[in-house]
Amino acid sequence: MNASVVLEATPGARRWRSGWIVRVAWLVTACVALALHASALPSLVRQISPDRAAALAAAGLTPAAYAGWLGFIGVLTALAFAAAGGLLIWYRPNERMAQFAAFVLLLFGSLTFTGQGTSPVGDYPILMWAYAVLDALGRAGFTVFVFVFPNGRFVPRWTRWLALAWIAVQVPVPFAQVDFVKPVLPIVEL
C-alpha cells in the first residue's frame, strides 16, 4: 500500500478559498462605501437652505441638531443594509445569489438609498467618480435584484427588458450634473 500524499486541491478547499476571497472583496467594498457615506456627514449642515434654517429656528431647532439627526438616520440605514449584506456574505459566501444580494444591499443601502453620498463631492471633487460608479452599481444592482429575487432568474422573461429600461433611466443620474438632472429627478427618484 502506497502512502503517498496527493497535493491536489479538492473542490471543498477551492470553495473555502473562494468564500474567503468573496468575503474580503465585500469587506473592502464595505469600507469604501461606508467611508464615502461617513465623509458626507460633516457637510450636511451646509446643505440646509436658509428657508429651512429659518423654519428650524421657528421650531426651536438648530441646523446642526437637524443635520445630526439626518446623519444619524442615514448611518443607521446604511448600517442596517450593510449588516443584512454582511450576514449573507458570511453565511453563504459560495452562493451566487447571496453574493449578489450582499453587494447590492451594501451599495444601495449605504450610497443610493440614503442620498448623502453627494455631500462630500463639493469638498473632495476627486471622490465624485468613486461615488458615481458605486452609486450607479447600487442603482443597477438593486433594480436587477428586485426582478431576480429569490431564485436568480427573471420570471417572467420579459421583465429583463423592463429592468434594462429602468437601469437605463437610473444609471446616468450619479454621473450628471445636479442642475442638469433637477427637472428629471421627480420622475427618476420615485
Q: Model confidence over 70-88: pLDDT tens digits?
A: 888 888 998 999 999 999 9
183: helix, strand or coil: coil
Give the pLDDT mean for 118-140: 79
CA atoms within 13 A on the CB side of 146: 12
Q: What is the pLDDT of residue 49?
A: 82
Nearest 10 degrees: Cα torsion 9, 12, 14, 18: -170
117 near 111, Cβ under 8 Å? yes
Report pLDDT digits (tens) over 17-28: 678 889 999 999
Predicted TM-score of the model (pTM): 0.77
pLDDT of the residue at 46 = 78
The C-alpha cell of 106 is what?
Answer: 451594501
